């Protein structure tokens, strides 16, 4: 019904033997999907979740998603988690939004219970890909990810170099502020060196420092896991531990 949201839907009631026009809340669903597209425009780290290994051309779609994410100067993770649930995806706290590559019947996920939203390849292409510059959001919707492969790769009308669109400046409906699209410099910053030990260049290439989104996110957290404390913990002999199961160990006093 999301695909045919602009068409009237009729249902036959065999009990009353009448045809009834269905009043489905497709407008609310489409508004929800449009909100997720706006979230994807602001996302800096995108997780590509592989939800199928048998649908035709799924590898081509994954390569296409990688390409448009790189062209938009964003970072991405390729994730295979098996059966999808909110607990598995919550382990990737540094990811801003997930895109699910799955069959058309299982690609729409109600991700309101998830830590981060889950969108479709069509929605990501509308947000940062060629569909956004050529087609845009028209209300037409598709859950078949193979259709984005046939989309045009460039806009038909040229863009003024001095315009806000060419400079990557736009108004974010999520943060309600003027934002600038990320560039190659914001994804990978050159490693700062003194003048006497500047970067080693070879032709057009240069050595640069890669900033891991996971490491950057971990550095901002208060709890970072168990500390190793190398050289600070005294070395002791191994001791006998408890024997039994969690229900009751041998050293525990049974309840009276």
pLDDT at 192: 38
- Is residue 53's pLDDT more than 80? no
* Mean pLDDT, range 14-23, rounded to an integer: 82
Identify the DSSP state of 188. Answer: S
- DSSP output for 85-147: -HHHHTT-TT-SEEEEE--TTT----GGGSSS-EE-HHHHHHHHSHHHHHT---S-----GGG
Q: For 136-147, what is each residue's pLDDT tens digit? A: 667 677 777 777
Mean pLDDT, all residues of the chain: 75
Note the pLDDT tens digit of each residue in 177-193: 777 777 655 544 433 33
> What is the percent of the chain where pLDDT is above 70?
68
Q: What is the pLDDT of residues 218-235, one digit of tens each?
A: 677 776 667 777 778 788
Is 98's pLDDT higher than 50? yes
pLDDT of res. 9:
76
* pLDDT value for 97: 93
For residues 116 and 96, what is the distance between their CA atoms, to the nearest angstrom? Answer: 6
% of the chain exceeding 90 in pLDDT: 11
Which residues, other chains included, contact 156 with Cβ-Cβ below 8 Å and sequence gap of 6+?
134
Instruction: Please enumerate in sequence order all residues whose Cβ is within 8 A of that of 154, keeping only pairs 6 or more positions apart, or say none.
Output: 130, 133, 134
């Amino acid at each position: 019904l999301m695909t045919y949201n602009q068409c009237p839907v009729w249902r036959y009631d065999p009990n009353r033997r009448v045809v009834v026009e269905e009043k489905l809340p497709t407008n609310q669903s489409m508004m929800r999907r449009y909100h997720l597209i706006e979230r994807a425009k602001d996302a800096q780290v995108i997780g590509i979740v592989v939800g199928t290994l048998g649908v035709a051309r799924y590898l081509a779609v994954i390569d296409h998603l990688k390409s448009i994410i790189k062209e938009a100067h964003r970072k991405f993770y390729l994730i295979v988690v098996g059966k999808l649930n909110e607990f598995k995806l919550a382990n990737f706290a540094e990811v801003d939004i997930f895109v699910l590559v799955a069959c058309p019947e299982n690609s729409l996920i109600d991700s309101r219970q998830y830590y981060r939203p889950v969108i479709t390849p069509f929605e990501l292409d509308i947000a940062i890909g060629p569909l956004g510059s050529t087609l845009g959001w028209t209300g037409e919707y598709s859950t078949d990810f193979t259709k984005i492969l046939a989309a045009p790769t460039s806009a038909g009308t040229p863009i003024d170099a001095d315009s806000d669109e060419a400079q990557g400046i736009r108004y974010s409906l999520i943060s309600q502020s003027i934002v600038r699209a990320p560039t190659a410099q914001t994804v990978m910053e050159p490693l700062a060196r003194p003048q006497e030990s500047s970067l080693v260049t070879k032709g057009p290439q240069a050595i640069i420092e890669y900033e891991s989104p996971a490491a950057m996110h971990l550095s901002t957290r208060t709890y970072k896991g168990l500390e190793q404390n190398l050289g600070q913990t005294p070395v002791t002999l191994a001791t006998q531990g408890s024997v039994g199961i969690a229900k009751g160990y041998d050293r525990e006093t049974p309840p009276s």
